[in-house]
Structure 1
Amino acid sequence: MPIYLSTNNEGKKVLDKIFNPKSIAVIGAPREEGKVGYAIMKNLMVFKEQNKERKIYPINPKYEEVFGLKCYKSVLDVENNIDLAVIAIPSKFVPMALEECGKKGIKGAIIITAGFSEVGNNKLEEELKEIAKKYNIRIIGPNCLGIINMHNKLNASFSKEYFKEGTVAFISQSGAILTAILDISPLINVGFSKIVSTGNKMDIQESDLMEYLANDDNTSVIVMYIEGLKDKKFIESAKKLSKTKPIIILKSGKSEKGKKAVSSHTGSLAGDNQIYDAVFKKSNVIEAETFEELVNMMHIFSTQPPMKSNNIGIITNAGGFGVLATDSCEKYNLNVVEFEENTKTTLKKYLPSTSSISNPLDLIGDATTERYKNAMAILKEDKNIDGLLIILTPQEMTKPLEVAEIIGQLNKEIDKPVVASFVGGKEVKGAKSYMRKMGVPSYISPENGVDALSSLYKYENIKNNEENYELYNNIKQELLNIKNNPERKNIIDNLFDNPNEYNAKEFLKINGISVPKKYLATTVEEAKQYASKLNNKVVLKISSPNILHKSDAGCVIINPKDIKTAFNEIMENGRKFLNANAPNGVIDGVLVEELLEGTEIIIGGKKDNIFGGVVMVGLGGIFVEVLKDVAFAISPISKNYGSSILKELKSYKILEGARGQLKRDIDYIINTMIRLDILMDIYPNIKEIDINPLFVKEEGKGGFAGDALIIVDK
């Protein structure tokens, strides 16, 4: 876990010294070309040449001088104060070097060296943590490429020299991804403010960097490549920053190696992928699905103004590509709107009669530069349109470079985002390069252009997203009052002593989640008596804390014809299951419960080691068992956040009342999600909760927990 050193103003001052140091020690500065330390020294000499007052101190006991500078045996031998230490020596020597940095009073360090937790050497990394904590040193790394500050020419890394200033801060857990981005960036004319290779993230996390970049005037866009997160603080830091600066993230490692858990439906379905998707949604960041998409988003956010609505205008000289773009707009939630009447009237004056005056605007295959120019000039004034996609395919009459020059000029004059898709190869290569130089994103396909524009619109929604926690806070106070009520203590203790279904439902009932009428029978006679009370329309189920999935064990019978036969069958199947799986397990009896009807929802919660409470929701039956149509929310859950999570379900229309069915009680589902979230928060020994199914009635009529599983730490 990270150290979490000072995150207050003092801590931010240390980060400022890391990015804007006046003096730097390079521990492990060599003379031999080809070594990491040599590349770092070479880069830092450029930093020194920009300002003669900046000091670089090579540290290496082997040499008297390096790069023409006096070389010291230790940082302790340097006469002056040092703002930043860059450490590039074999891993076994790093603790001693860091200890000397602490004694010297150095508060910022970049540990380039590998050979720590990434190769299983956790003990050595823990030793570094202790030293850093002792001296309150902020650390980037270990096992990282280093950092670059484009605006002061600081390259404290072993990356090649690259100093195109811009407004993008790029934070990467992979050095290779970082160098690839730097190599691609000149081709799309993107510049950077800060570059950070985070490595093992022993101390400084993405959250620390976001809090620092929030006040960095040189940064307007934050782009990240993440392999994993170590702190829940990421969520709040990102939510705060995203109000003013877009955050674009590519997360790797989300596929088959998700967390393995089979204790509950929620546990088995909530793998790394699902939890990280929920984290990013909660954090109000924009997630890229591929590296290409990351680059495209980085390009458009760093060059184009906001997209105020999802209304898009499309200009093309190829009808087929116009149709493909329109198809993509539906996929990415963009609206291909009708032009204003004035726009249509004016267009008719400049376009041939064969042109269809509609959106997409097809200029026909023989479109000239003049035709493109007139179309753009007219559409840029259309108030129905808040974004423009301009498509071109190489034709004999169409001059790609001339059209590109017009688009470049348009980009300067318009306060709406403009992207281009010049589809082709050698004929359009020069035109695409020109547009990128002029700050116009240019893509190989219309679909890429639509995707990029949609990310701009998505960010506008994120900026305006506000969560209201009034309902959450009211329910939390209600549940805390129940927890602290001595009269309820017996029910709570029963659950934690014996978490069978009967006790689980009693616990849910006192906490505001309705359950069916139920009785616990230990004999056939009791089962018959209880079934009679419920008019013999019942469900019989085993009650045992050791049989979690009762149906799989053959221990659930719905609406049995003969209570005696059903009771005996359930008890026999329960004993067989325990003999095979939990010989010391117990059976408390058979639950006799009224048979209810309603739309089946699965809803559950579990605790993630990093992010805390995670709540899952989805429709039951085939939707969860086969289609796995579920969505996840990260605690705390506000009413509007819960609503947005429900709307992620492909089957959400069923809840709204598809095909003439009555609308379900959606507010009741959200209320139940919030209650499970809070219960996991205020009862630390609850590990997981599953309600499957939750029967949901018509709008305004609530529902019932049909089955309940609560797993506790004893």
Structure 2
Amino acid sequence: MGQFNLNRIFNPRYIAVVGASEKKGTIGHALMKNLIDGKFSGQLVPVNPKYQKLHGYGCIKSVSRIDSQIDLVVIATPIDTVPDIVRQCVEKKAGGAIVISAGGKEIGAKGQKIEEKIRKISYEGGLRVLGPNCMGLIRPGGGLNASFASEMPNTGNMAFVSQSGAICSSILDLAFNENIGFSHFVSIGSMLDIDFGDMIDYLGNDPKVKSILLYIESLTNFRKFMSAARSVSRIKPIIVLKSGTSAAGAKAAASHTGAMAGEDAVYDTAFKRAGIVRVNTIEELFDCAELMAKQAHPSGSRLAIITNGGGPGVMATDALAKHGHEPAVLDVDTMDELNAILPPFWSHGNPIDILGDASPDVFSNTLKACLKSKSMDGVLVILAPQALTEPLSVAQGLVDTLKSRKYPVIACWMGGKTIQKAVDHLNQAGIPTYDTPERAVRAFLYMVEYKKNLEMLLEIPPKMIRHIKVDKKKVETLFSKVQVNDFMPEADAKQVLSAYGLPVLESKTAATLSEASRIGKTMGYPLVMKLLSPDISHKTDAGGVLLDLRNDTDVCNAFDRIMSSAHQYKPDARLEGVSIQSYCLNPDFEILMGAKRDPNFGPVILFGMGGIYTEILKDRALGLPPMNRLLARRLMQETKVYQLLKGYRNRLPADMELLEEMIVRLSQLLIDFPQIGELDMNPILIKNSKNMAVDARILISKTDIPTPMHLVISPYPEEYESHLITVEGQPIFIRPVKPEDAPLFTALFKTLSPTTIYYRFFSVLKELSSAMLARFTQIDYDREIALVAIDENLETSQLLGVARIIGDPDGKTGEFAVIVGDTWQGKGIGVRLLEKCLSIAQNRGYIEIHGSVLRENRNMLALGKKLGFDISRDPDTGENRLVIRLEGKN
């Protein structure tokens, strides 16, 4: 149900607590006490048939007897009573319910049955449900503590969402100790309805939320999660701790939440693609929580290290080096200033060792010098207890220096009892503190990783060298001949790859020795012979591959040896013969490309080092389709073999652009055919910069999910392409926007008059920034409709106009925008673009589309009137508001 009614849960005016109690030690008592102590300003009603009054409030026997409209119902009764209570909530048109009760799917079939009943009643009635098996939610800024947590945390700008109540309790305990505040604190439980995707969307659209922390054991709606995360991570950092990384851990997660965790490497890939920063331990999550809550995000990895001890400085430097970074290089001005304020024997470099007898003033003055420098992105201040050092005085000086400054400064006060007052002072002042240099550096680098992720999300991919043409019908015919859960014959698998433009080495099949001899004489020598058997996947293990066959005798002997060896390896295997192909002697490189369908994330692309050592070396990287050239290059860069592919000693570099194209073509094949369960091209031989897939195997498996819904990331919607003729007879191509369109947007912007720019952007712009270009071209096709008009007469594409509808998170409303180049205005292009956008929006279930238009923009007002928009004047801004209802519109 998306964002429907979530605001009534997080900003309720009327709360009913079912199972309220005055008996200490019960959840019903804790819920009422927290709501009262938190100073909830709305109406609060306890619900319990046993009492007339509870906590000074009049008690009602059941939800069905409440007269007023209820926003939120908190349920803390046994799970088997919940379906009936939920039914009463639906009848009373409540906004949502928090089901604290445990005993659902995590205990097995009986609990699963109860949850399904709750789900059916709530979904049909439009009631949002948080939980079950959750701790509740807290919104400190709104005085809302609808949980059984021990107490209310401080108000902050960081949201925390956890699937585990125990993790919630631990984070809260840390928050009190480290003076961390929250905007939202949510225990999401078993996610019967409200899931992580819903929460990311909701929190991403709340201006009071600056960052989001998630503890995840499992996901439910994977596509919605990816869509929400890819959208929100561009504007707010999302930090995730995902448990269940090992087989045993995944099993533990299932017993706790009733849902199996997926393969951890695929989660890693998905998080990276969504711009999410993943941490590995609870300690790291705590450290990131503190840094995100208290400090500005660093713009890079250049860290200055101020220390009064050489050892801790070395530890910090080693921690940076471990993650591929070095301390910031001190510029000349900074060196001069440090020489003026520090004793002669300071380290004269970074780490800045200010010596063991450094006074509070020396610490402060050194920090001031670093804050002035433009060659640093953050400062780590390390204090090791020394006889002449007063930790509290140094902390006080540090706080005074940082007053009214937004700069990434973190503190590492090493020690125990002697430094506690100093650490408390730093925490109260909003300076993150860590007990070891390694923890401080690691937390800093996680924030650097977010910055890097953001830059990658905003990067513009280059265009393909050639237009991708495929023979989809041929592949459909080939797949139709294969039984479900069977591997295709190798010859057919190669035909599939060839149909999508992937280079393969031609091979011919022989069922008998005489056929093998004839083929060998025809093809010429040297040759390779490989076993054909649907029951033996790894041919080499069965002695099923023989190389460098130089004559007919070699070919005949090889056939006999392969058949005999395969029969001994697996007597019941079906032996269909052999495949024969040319032998490539001494290739420059061997790589692997392949794919496997993950049960949660759909098809996953694999790239890495190929050949017989693939599984031993495990040099691989994973990616999710759809892919473009930029994503393909990043995928290759994650492997060790990439360094070899760039050229090594006397070996020529591989054709990187061709490799990128191969990955994009493989991606398209996976997009078009959900039935591909596994696909291997191993090895792909590269010699003299030419690529050739030597071996190919494709497993066809059953799937009921049609394309493109089998993907977690919506691909380019080719079905929205169309052609039109302008009023002057000019052919125009209308298609969805692509990430590679950024140069076209820049070129269009340069042709716009200042008036057109002002009408579209409501401000004066001289150029489109890289962030704006990325925002306009790298869209989520699930939640945004963006169409461009291209002049078909020109050899090089020219962008004539753009129209888009940006969907709100509820999936029911959206905002439109249109711009057409000055030369092309008045030719009907804007009308046709927006008309097609509205048609797509209606088919997707949008109810209302709206937009703002300056009153001087008469052309746009005329366009809106022509398409049936209602036009009204906004009394506050003086702008015209255009609204069109799509529901029921023909």
Superposition TM-score, scaled by structure 1 size: 0.91
The residue that corresponds to 2:657 in the other structure is: 667
- 3-state SS of the aligned residue for 1:388? strand
In structure 2, distance between residues paired with 1:369 and 1:163: 32
Q: What residue number does 1:574 align with? A: 566
Matched, 1:18 2:9: yes
Are residue 540 (structure 1) and residue 529 (structure 2) matched?
Answer: yes
Structure 1: distance between partners of 2:603 and 2:17: 43
Aligned to 1:56: 44
- Alignment match, 1:708: 696
Aligned to 2:778: none
Q: CA deviation at 1:181?
A: 0.5
Q: What is the rounded CA distance, in whole Å, between the counterparts of 1:159 and 1:460 in structure 2?
A: 34
CA distance in 2, matches of 1:276, 1:258: 14
- Residues 117 and 651 from structure 1, CA distance in 2 versus in 1: closer, same or farther, beyond 3 angstroms? same
2:506 maps to what in 1? 517
Give the Cα–Cα distance (whole angstroms) in 2 for the partners of residues 544 and 506 of structure 1.
Answer: 18
Distance 1:323 1:555 in 2: 55
Q: Is the contact made by 1:148 and 1:154 (CA closer than 8 Å) also made in structure 2? A: yes
The correspondence for 1:147, drawn from 126, 129, 137, is 137
Q: Equivalent residue for 2:398?
A: 407
CA distance in 1, matches of 2:687, 2:7: 57
CA distance in 1, matches of 2:10, 2:395: 38
Residue 288 of structure 1, CA deviation: 0.9
Partner SS state of residue 377, structure 2: coil
> Structure 1 pair 594/660, CA: closer, same or farther in 2 (3 Å)?
closer
> Contact 1:258–1:271 at 8 Å: present in 2 too?
no
Aligned to 2:179: 189
**Residue 77 (structure 1) aligns with:** 65
> Which residue number in structure 1 is paired with residue 858 of structure 2?
none
- Structure 1 residue 179, shift from structure 2 partner: 0.8
Equivalent positions of 1:210-229 (< 5 A) are 210-229=200-219
Q: 1:330: which partner in 2?
A: 321
Equivalent residue number for residue 642 of structure 2: 652
| In structure 1, C-alpha distance between the alignment counterparts of 2:15 and 2:320, rounded to whole Å | 51
Q: Give the partner amino acid of 1:306.
A: H
Any idea what SS the aligned residue of 2:402 has? helix
How does 1:3-402 map onto structure 2 within 5 Å?
5=1, 7=2, 11-12=3-4, 14-47=5-38, 49-51=39-41, 54-120=42-108, 121-232=111-222, 233-257=224-248, 272-402=263-393
Alignment correspondent of 2:881: none
The residue that corresponds to 1:564 in the other structure is 556
Corresponding residue of 1:267: none
Any conservation in 1 of the 2:129–2:194 contact (CA below 8 Å)?
yes
Matches for 1:369-518 after TM superposition, within 5 Å: 369-464=360-455, 465-466=457-458, 468=460, 478-479=469-470, 482-484=471-473, 490-494=477-481, 499-518=488-507
* Structure 1 letter corresponding to 2:450: Y
| Separation in 1, partners of 2:357, 2:648 | 47
Q: Whole-Å Cα distance in 2 between the matches of residues 259 and 710 of structure 1?
A: 28
Q: Which amino acid aligns with 1:279?
A: A
Query: 2: CA distance between counterparts of 1:60 and 1:347?
Result: 69
Q: Does 1:599 align with 2:596?
A: no
Are 1:612 and 2:602 matched, yes or no?
Answer: yes
| 1:612–1:635 contact (8 Å) kept in structure 2 | no
Cα distance in 1, alignment partners of residues 348 and 693 from structure 2: 57
* CA positional deviation for 1:372: 1.8
Paired amino acid for 1:709: R
Q: Distance in 2 between matches of 1:206 and 1:127?
A: 22
Residues 667 and 472 from structure 1, CA distance in 2 versus in 1: closer, same or farther, beyond 3 angstroms? closer
| Inter-CA distance 469–527: structure 2 relative to 1 (3 Å threshold) | same
Task: Report deviation, 1:76.
Answer: 1.3
Deviation at 1:317, TM superposition (A): 1.6
Q: Which amino acid aligns with 2:661?
A: N
Stretch moving more, 200-209 or 454-463: 454-463
Is the 1:539–1:595 contact (alpha carbons within 8 Å) kept by the matching residues of 2? yes
Q: CA shift at 1:415, angstroms? A: 3.9
Residue 325 of structure 1 deviates from its aligned partner by 1.5
State the alpha-carbon separation in 1 of the partners of residues 164 and 34 from structure 2.
Answer: 20
Can you list the C-alpha shifts for 1:316-337, whole angstroms capped at 9, x where unaligned? 1212222222222222343323
- Structure 2: distance between partners of 1:554 and 1:130: 56
Kept in 2, the 8 Å contact 1:606–1:680? The answer is no
Identity over aligned residues, as a percent?
Answer: 36
The CA distance in 2 between the partners of 1:579 and 1:509, in whole Å, is 33
1:549 aligns with 2:542: no
Q: Shift in Å at residue 495 of structure 1?
A: 5.5
Gaps of 5+ in 1: 261-269
Residue-by-residue CA offset, 1:514-548 (whole Å, 9 max, x unaligned): 11121111121221222233332121112233322
Alignment deviations for residues 221-265 of structure 1 (CA, whole Å, 9 cap, x no partner): 1111100111221112111111111111111110134889xxxxx
Q: In terms of mean alpha carbon deviation, does 529-538 or 687-696 score higher?
A: 529-538
- SS for the counterpart of 2:278 is strand
Residues of 1 paired with 2:36 and 2:365: CA distance? Answer: 52
Cα deviation 1:93-138 (Å, max 9, x = unaligned): 1111111111111131111111111111322211111111211111
Letter in 2 for 1:418: V
Deviation at 1:674, TM superposition (A): 2.4
Change (3 A) 1:17 1:630: same
Quote how far apart the aligned CAs of 1:672 are.
2.5
Q: Deviations over 1:614-658 (max 9, x none)?
A: 111111247632232221112222322222222222443222234
State the alpha-carbon separation in 1 of the partners of residues 58 and 369 from structure 2. Answer: 66
The 2-side partners of 1:111 and 1:488 are apart by 49
Instruction: Answer whether contact 1:501 1:544 (CA < 8 A) is retained.
Output: no
Paired letter, 2:644: I
- Larger mean CA deviation between 217-226 and 374-383 belongs to 374-383
Please state how far the C-alpha of 1:469 moved relative to its aligned partner: 6.8
Amino acid at match of 1:466: L
Residues 133, 489 of structure 1: alpha-carbon distance in 2 compared, 3 angstrom cutoff: closer
Aligned positions, number = 682
2:844 aligns to what?
none
* Paired amino acid for 2:68: N
Three-state SS of the structure 2 residue aligned to 1:552 is helix
For residue 411 of structure 2, what is the amino acid of its counterpart? Answer: A
Task: Give the aligned residue type for 2:334.
Answer: T
* Paired residue secondary structure (1:559): strand
CA distance in 2, matches of 1:324, 1:446: 6
Tell me what 2:633 maps to.
643
User: Once the 2 structures are TM-superposed, how far is the Cα of residue 194 of structure 1 from its aligned partner?
Assistant: 0.6
> Quick check: 2:593–2:681 contact (8 Å CA) kept in 1?
yes
Larger mean CA deviation between 514-523 and 421-430 belongs to: 421-430
In structure 2, distance between residues paired with 1:175 and 1:19: 18
Unpaired segments of 5 or more residues in structure 2? Answer: 252-260, 703-890
Secondary structure of the residue aligned to 1:57 is: strand
Deviation at 1:710, TM superposition (A): 0.5
In structure 2, C-alpha distance between the alignment counterparts of 1:665 and 1:290, rounded to whole Å: 40
Q: In angstroms, what is the RMSD of aligned CA positions? A: 2.4
Q: Which amino acid aligns with 1:297?
A: C
Are the counterparts in 2 of residues 643 and 670 from structure 1 also a CA contact under 8 Å? yes
